[in-house]
Structure 1
């Protein structure tokens, strides 16, 4: 009996694996040729491996309370592949569940055609011409942004990373920068092939030519000489944070808008994608994507505030050390940050609590904040110690946050885990702004403590790219459309 069971498990796995392998070329064709992003309950299937397709289906059980397998979604995907669709995000999981619910009234091809009527209009470009992107700075965040933008290149009709602007470091500068993009001690190797074109002083990443431009001042670059026009420039140096400083980029030929990957000062709009996207408009030329910590905590704070109300609170972050700190003890203009980053926990300030008020005005004056830099190279932890407007309990608070992570407008920002063994390294590569650690949640009456993990490099970079897509007008319709209640 035990041997038969072993064979049953193995054969079932091999069967699912074979179907997932057959899904890959259809998913790739839809993405490259029609700019169709296929998902399973919000989990993207583009540019992932066979095993990741199976894991995405496994995730769906958290929403459905039952298993969803590739046996159910593969026929849906095949039917989609027969259509000539306009760009969209199409959820195979939701379509599969709907198809089962209609109990054979329509055949699968007719059902899919009916559900996708609004985009069954033929292949059309997302934009009149691809949106040029320029990175100003090519450090930790810059290189991760490059990875994500190359991954999302699709048919090349959307965002095109055209250049990275840096200060020349040495005669072999191009080789060294290509090597840093190719290998990363935290995030692993680049998923693809990287070569260099010395004549164009460019890095070729999966066929995308990224020019390396050397400059000492933003206004001194003429991007039009490289064929770059109306570009969105992402400043990930953090050197200029106010309107006069950041506005220097707009003096350069070829730049139309600027996005800062740090908290903006003055009247520069600070946007946490998913929360206050309404601030993004073509009339404004300068934006801030706030900080990694602000992006991690604001979606969770908004969710809690909307449901339970927040009277007051304190935000403490255990933040991985950064390049701003010293490797060993040495002079630093800031207090404590001169001490060896990899050897010490370092108490320092954080502007995250004040930054929250810029995104969620209803929390103005209600939060305090502090930070401890800890000896890890990536992934941080925010501890939200909150006084709520009403009493609740652990089950109710966790259940609500779980629901927000699975099926809400904030599902791409908030993730949720109930793993008893999760630690910081498990969060490396998370594409979410923050991950609620449900087993750490504490509730006593109207007082709660919520722990939120976040990949302060990759998760934040994903938020930045989401914002860039919004700035460029790249908002895909999501199908199927949920019926109105």
Structure 2
């Protein structure tokens, strides 16, 4: 199998994680990076964010590594970059600005064969792939693809495991989320009242689109999942608080934890179980979609349970984007990338 050629549209936090993770990949090569920033600053951020030395040199407008040579080009909107010039198989649209089908199609018209979002879309696209949940549904015809969101990945995996073991009647999620780059550090006028407040000073109630999309990804949960978000003043490390009403009677805390331990063996790439009394900074640098906190599992006298799952939002989404690209690459290997 030849290496999958990937272009990055935007070189913010998630795509920089993608680039660093791909340095050791035998399946993926980053060949083009589109951003409006100065190449020397993009290279600087790539290096200073890493906890270990990153062997990447900037030569003119190229990032050079053992994994290959990536050209830095200037592009602002989908369609600006002629991806066919770079023979790109997948474009990762990571600007955070373009999540609608019509916008994403511009990458295809510019020569990309497939487009991957590291976020949830704003309207229907070909497929949302949650690794560990529905990767078996991918098709050759998928062109516009999303790897979901960190909250969607974590919730989907937990619901799948719990539903297969005990049955789930209803679930309510709260994602306690590190602040994001679209939030202001100081109070200023934003898209709504609460989103106008300082991310560094406040716990801010927010909406999450995860329940809506989960019901489409997992139709068995239609009408049975709701949720909300809290953006909190920490830069990294988030936690999902999931409450579920089970169908099975007399399920104990130990039963839930044992089921998660078993699932972690089958889904080792995306699910980890920990016994330690961890906090948010302990999952920084962890690529799992779910770091399941056994000490936090609770059970009501009835059929209600409550579990916590931790995750490093930007890093685990970078890892899931790579997983999705590799899954499509392997799926299409016999017929070649199309």
Q: Give me the TM-score of the superposition, normalised by structure 2.
A: 0.93
RMSD after superposition: 1.7
Deviation at 1:149, TM superposition (A): 1.0
What residue ranges of structure 1 are gaps of 5+ in the alignment? 1-126, 477-485
The answer to which structure has the higher helix fraction is 1
Deviation at 1:281, TM superposition (A): 1.9
Matched, 1:247 2:110: no
Deviation at 1:290, TM superposition (A): 1.1
C-alpha offsets along residues 11-50 of structure 1, whole Å, 9 cap, x if unaligned?
xxxxxxxxxxxxxxxxxxxxxxxxxxxxxxxxxxxxxxxx
Deviation at 1:381, TM superposition (A): 0.6
C-alpha offsets along residues 345-364 of structure 1, whole Å, 9 cap, x if unaligned?
11111111222112211111
Q: Could you say which residue in structure 2 is the equivalent of 1:348? A: 206
Q: 2:276, 2:173 → 1: CA distance?
A: 23
Comparing 205-214 with 299-308, greater Cα deviation is found at 205-214
Q: Match for 1:399 among 258, 262, 267? A: 258
Deviation at 1:230, TM superposition (A): 4.5
Secondary structure at 2:190's aligned position in 1? Answer: coil
The answer on whether the counterparts of 2:7 and 2:88 sit within 8 Å (CA) in structure 1 is: no
User: Equivalences for 1:217-232 in 2 at 5 Å?
Assistant: 217-225=77-85, 228-232=86-90
Q: 2:281, 2:138 → 1: CA distance?
A: 33
Q: 2:108, 2:294 → 1: CA distance?
A: 44
Q: Could you say which residue in structure 1 is the equivalent of 2:173? A: 315
Q: Match for 2:308 among 448, 451, 457? A: 451
C-alpha offsets along residues 55-92 of structure 1, whole Å, 9 cap, x if unaligned?
xxxxxxxxxxxxxxxxxxxxxxxxxxxxxxxxxxxxxx
Q: 1:404, 1:398 → 2: CA distance?
A: 10
User: Equivalences for 1:50-449 in 2 at 5 Å?
Assistant: 127=1, 129-152=2-25, 154=26, 158-167=27-36, 169=37, 173-184=38-49, 188-198=50-60, 201-206=61-66, 208-225=68-85, 228-253=86-111, 255-264=112-121, 265-391=123-249, 392-405=251-264, 407-408=265-266, 410-420=267-277, 422-444=278-300, 445-449=302-306
Deviation at 1:475, TM superposition (A): 9.8
C-alpha offsets along residues 309-335 of structure 1, whole Å, 9 cap, x if unaligned?
111121011100000100111111133
Aligned residues: 330
The answer to which structure has the higher strand fraction is 2
Q: 1:317, 1:296 → 2: CA distance?
A: 10
The answer on whether the counterparts of 1:261 and 1:288 sit within 8 Å (CA) in structure 2 is: yes
Indicate the structure whose relative CO is greater, using CA pairs within 8 Å and at least 6 residues apart.
Answer: 2
Deviation at 1:270, TM superposition (A): 1.2
Deviation at 1:266, TM superposition (A): 1.6
The answer on whether the counterparts of 1:469 and 1:475 sit within 8 Å (CA) in structure 2 is: no
Would the alpha carbon gap of residues 270 and 224 (structure 1) be closer, same or farther in structure 2, given more than 3 Å must change? closer
The answer on whether the counterparts of 1:300 and 1:414 sit within 8 Å (CA) in structure 2 is: no
Secondary structure at 1:221's aligned position in 2? Answer: coil
Q: 1:394, 1:210 → 2: CA distance?
A: 49
The answer on whether the counterparts of 2:79 and 2:106 sit within 8 Å (CA) in structure 1 is: yes
The answer on whether the counterparts of 2:78 and 2:103 sit within 8 Å (CA) in structure 1 is: no
Q: Could you say which residue in structure 2 is the equivalent of 1:16? A: none
Runs of 4+ in 1 over 4 A off after TM superposition: none
Q: Give me the TM-score of the superposition, normalised by structure 1.
A: 0.66
Q: Could you say which residue in structure 2 is the equivalent of 1:111? A: none
Q: 1:272, 1:450 → 2: CA distance?
A: 20
The answer on whether the counterparts of 1:183 and 1:190 sit within 8 Å (CA) in structure 2 is: no
Q: Could you say which residue in structure 1 is the equivalent of 2:318? A: 461
Secondary structure at 2:71's aligned position in 1? Answer: strand
Q: Could you say which residue in structure 1 is the equivalent of 2:336? A: none
Deviation at 1:206, TM superposition (A): 4.0
C-alpha offsets along residues 373-418 of structure 1, whole Å, 9 cap, x if unaligned?
001001111111110001200111111111111x21x222211111
